[in-house]
Amino acid sequence: MALLPILQYPDPRLHKVAKSVATVTEQTRKLIRDMAETMYAASGVGLAATQVDVHERIVVIDVSDTHDNLLVFINPVLTSSSGSEESEEGCLSVPGIYENVTRAEQVTVSALDAQGKAFTLEADGLLAICIQHEMDHLQGRVFVEHLSHLKQTRIRAKLIKQRRETL
């Protein structure tokens, strides 16, 4: 297994739209293992392949307290969503920034698992938010893009300044 570098906003590669996985292979599973290791090492609850510069529709999520309930979504599709709730989000690609975003409260998602087997999952709470956040990444969308343009400009300036200071 290997830790993968995580793209940092505003990297333009975060805006690429991911392609569907045609066949789930051993190579797909190796990527999933590396993504999971990378997510756990960074204390994240979700990671999209886009964030490690692989533009395929693959997401890993673990919202458990015990970090032992890895969910894998390949080619995820939201088949229904309902309700609306605002909650604070963060992102491994946008370090140190936490902002409120409004999303659907409940979602139903269909996807393939790491074995290529189709499944459907109904989710609410943190898992529902996380699924929507990670699926946004696959469309090239970072959570801060749900915020006002003024806020986005401030966040970009702050992150660029922070990075300059740590070089």
Catalytic residue positions, numbered: 134
- Residue closer to Ni ion by CB (options 31, 97) is 97
Q: In angstroms, what is the minimal distance from the CB of 94 to Ni ion?
A: 7
Using CB under 5 A, which residues numbered 79 to 98 contact Ni ion? 91
Distances (CA, A) of 88 to 20, 31, 46, 83, 134: 29, 29, 15, 17, 15
Please report, as a single letter, which amino acid is at residue 116: G
Distances (CA, A) of 23 to 54, 114, 140, 152: 15, 11, 22, 37
- Residue closer to Ni ion by CB (options 75, 136) is 136
Q: In angstroms, what is the minimal distance from the CB of 52 to Ni ion?
A: 11
- Residue closer to Ni ion by CB (options 31, 91) is 91
Determine, following the binding rule CB under 5 A, whether residue 104 of this chain makes contact with Ni ion.
no
Q: In angstroms, what is the minimal distance from the CB of 90 to Ni ion?
A: 8
Q: In angstroms, what is the minimal distance from the CB of 35 to Ni ion?
A: 12
Name the residue number minimizing CB distance to Ni ion.
91
C-beta of residue 111 within 8 angstroms of C-beta of residue 138 = no
- Residue closer to Ni ion by CB (options 91, 128) is 91
Determine, following the binding rule CB under 5 A, whether residue 130 of this chain makes contact with Ni ion.
no
C-beta of residue 91 within 8 angstroms of C-beta of residue 9 = yes
Q: Which residues bind Ni ion (CB under 5 A)?
A: 91
